[in-house]
Amino acid sequence: MKNRFKGFAFILAAAVSSLTAQNVVVNGPDGKLQVLVSCPEGGKASYTVSYNGKQMLAASPLGLETNVGNFTEGMKLKEHREEPLDTTYVQSRIKTSRIHYRANELVCSFTNAKGQPMDVTFRVSNHDVAFRYTLPRQGETAGVVVDAEATGFRFPTGTTTFLTPQSDAMIGWKRTKPSYEEEYKADARWMYGHNTDMATPFPVYLRLAKRLGACERNRCGQSVLRFAPE
């Protein structure tokens, strides 16, 4: 009888642990690039990126603050699904005209403290990680205003940067700035709190322990707004 109770207690403990941990892992097709999504129940969602066992991003926050609800805290990972992607497409304006794209897609469905849903979709290829937020329609609301974004990128200690500051508007030659990039500082030491009053436009290049990576955006006007140690 005691052994039966011990076995039941172990199963119960394992079930509680799985509910509180809420960790989901997705790898690139070759298994080297990995994303770990974590969300302690009722807490904050985060993601971690590693390559071939080496950490590239420490646990970094996810979430949005909107006019329909707060999706930065009190979160719960309700379910997830994974799907392999394998497609080929043609581009006539880049160096490689025929592209074969392979990745694994992970869709994590969260709810906030009020039970409102939010999806975060990750795509992990052999060399790249991308993700996006999806907010389903809330009642009769036809649009959503994003008041703030909690998304962060927490780089390991020792990271160096190749960054250019965002110029103030309407200055320089014939008041044309920002018309082009300012000067880059090559391999500069990462400084939290540096240039907090000035944005850094994409692309952002980083060196993580002898590995050079890039963070780029294809939408006009995107930038890194601030650096913070939290």
Please check whether residues 178 and 199 belong to one and the same domain. yes
> Domain total for the chain?
2
Please check whether residues 28 and 125 belong to one and the same domain. yes
19 has pLDDT over 70: no
- pTM score > 0.85 for this model? no
Could you say which of 104, 121, 154 is where a domain stops?
Answer: 154
Please check whether residues 67 and 171 belong to one and the same domain. no
Please check whether residues 83 and 136 belong to one and the same domain. yes
Could you say which of 128, 154, 180 is where a domain stops?
Answer: 154
CATH number, domain of 134, equals 2.70.98.10
CA within 13 Å, CB half, 2: 0
Please check whether residues 73 and 1 belong to one and the same domain. yes
Could you say which of 154, 173, 208 is where a domain stops?
Answer: 154
Please check whether residues 145 and 169 belong to one and the same domain. no
Q: Give the model confidence (pLDDT) of 191-203 as tens digits.
A: 544 444 556 766 7
Q: Give the model confidence (pLDDT) of 156-210 as tens digits.
A: 888 888 877 777 888 888 888 877 667 777 888 765 444 445 567 667 777 775 5
Say what the pLDDT of residue 209 is: 59
| Mean pLDDT, rounded, for 72-85 | 96
Please check whether residues 65 and 167 belong to one and the same domain. no
**Which domain, by its residues, includes 126?**
1-154
